[in-house]
Amino acid sequence: MRLKAVAVSILIALASPAFAADTTARQLAQDAIIVDTHIDAPGGLMSHWADLGKASPKFEFDYPRARDGGLDVAFMSIYTSAKQDADGSARQVAHEMIDAVEALAARHPDKFALLHSPKDVERLRQGGRVLLPLGMENAAPIGDDLSQLQVFFDRGVRYITLAHSAANRLADSSYGVERKWHGLSPFGKQVVAEMNRLGIMVDVSHISDESAHETIALSKAPVIASHSAFRHFTPGFERNISDELAKAVAEKGGVVQIPFGTAFVDPVSAANTQAHFRAINEFNKRNAELKAAGKPLESEEAFEAAWAKAHPAPVTKIDAVLDQIDYAVKLIGIDHVGIGSDFDGVGGELPDGLRTVADFPNLVAGLQARGYKDEDIRKILGENLLRVWAAVEVAAAQ
């Protein structure tokens, strides 16, 4: 199920990959610039602190494993929930997460550096640093104040996912049963325009098809899907991107970043995820009614435990991710595909061989085995995303 997990069990974090990448794959992973557009470590740090500059087995991202896997640019997800949006805490939580990322970089200036522009990648990654740009998952922290975009841009946010698990002030969610805007709200249109002006990448992951269509059409710069698999493999799962929308992203010059979580790449798990978000929305509504009536609230822990027991994650192989990449390349072209793992954001529900950031060489080996040339693998690993990010900056300057 699709959860922003605060921790992953030690056994999962240390699990051996399904197969060991050979020397050639490891060398390419180290030499190429690997960009992962979605890692949820900041959410975990809010409730389960760890020094990610050292080995942190309860997380899927830390410095030693990032370097072992060849990861260079790790977008830290500044995720806030629909619940935090509703109770007014989203902005505070977002700033606290950014503080945590800044503290990590300040604590280990030899291992991490904040990244605000693709122009600085080569300079900052010297010495083996892992670079930490920020992606805001859910625009809730903006509230209804357009000036907050400048505030968060100044703090390093370089893409924003317009909505998450429920409709907000900007757009509808792919998970929502009810559609509030059937596209973008008037404020959402202003936000997209201001993001274009500032040079913040617009992210269409998580939002409804109607909202995504309008976003892509309205944006004056390329857009991204920061972590969206293809609906072709999971029919009826709107959270994954449709062929039509993927083509529109590519035609705009953007990129679709493939996640690793079984919730996206496995049909059974995808159906469970869709059902889970609808169930949790109903759960929150019930608790809101109970609170208004002065009655005891239902336990969220009990709800999640019961759900997990009733919906065990299927065993998934790395081939499921490779199949997604194959399909994407054939559909929209090699220049419009990348990776957005969702490490530390899917409760450890990941394919064999892609359990942590140390496992990128396994992905490289899989692509090599399927006949991809090294120059094309480099594009998928990060060059495509960096090109799009640079194009968004150019559009802002113009």
Domain tally for the chain?
A: 1
Instruction: Please report whether residue 276 resides in a domain.
Output: no
Q: How would you write the pLDDT of the chain (398 residues) with one tens digit per residue?
A: 334 443 333 333 334 444 558 999 999 999 999 999 999 999 999 989 999 999 999 999 999 999 999 999 999 999 999 999 999 999 999 999 999 999 999 999 999 999 999 999 999 999 999 999 999 999 999 999 999 999 999 999 999 999 999 999 999 999 988 899 999 999 999 999 999 999 999 999 999 999 999 999 999 999 999 999 999 999 999 999 999 999 999 999 999 999 999 999 998 887 888 788 788 878 888 998 988 999 899 998 898 888 888 888 778 999 999 999 999 999 999 999 999 999 999 999 999 999 999 999 999 999 999 999 999 999 999 999 999 999 999 999 99
Secondary structure class of 257 (helix, strand, coil): strand
Instruction: Please report whether residue 290 resides in a domain.
Output: no
Instruction: Please report whether residue 294 resides in a domain.
Output: no
Domain span holding position 173? 10-267+314-397
Instruction: Please report whether residue 14 resides in a domain.
Output: yes
String of DSSP letters for 154-204 = HTTEEEEES--SS--SSB-BTT-SS-SSSSB-HHHHHHHHHHHHHTPEEE-
- Taking alpha carbons only, the member of 131, 95, 126, 97 closest to residue 114 is 131
Where does residue 207 rank: exposed (0-12), middle (13-18), buried (19+ CB within 10 A)?
A: buried
What's the CATH code of the domain at 145? 3.20.20.140
Instruction: Please report whether residue 370 resides in a domain.
Output: yes
Instruction: Please report whether residue 275 resides in a domain.
Output: no
Instruction: Please report whether residue 1 resides in a domain.
Output: no
String of DSSP letters for 209-237 = HHHHHHHHHH-SS-EEETT--BGGGSTT-
Instruction: Please report whether residue 295 resides in a domain.
Output: no
The single residue listed with the structure tokens 């056994």 is 11
The reported pTM is 0.91
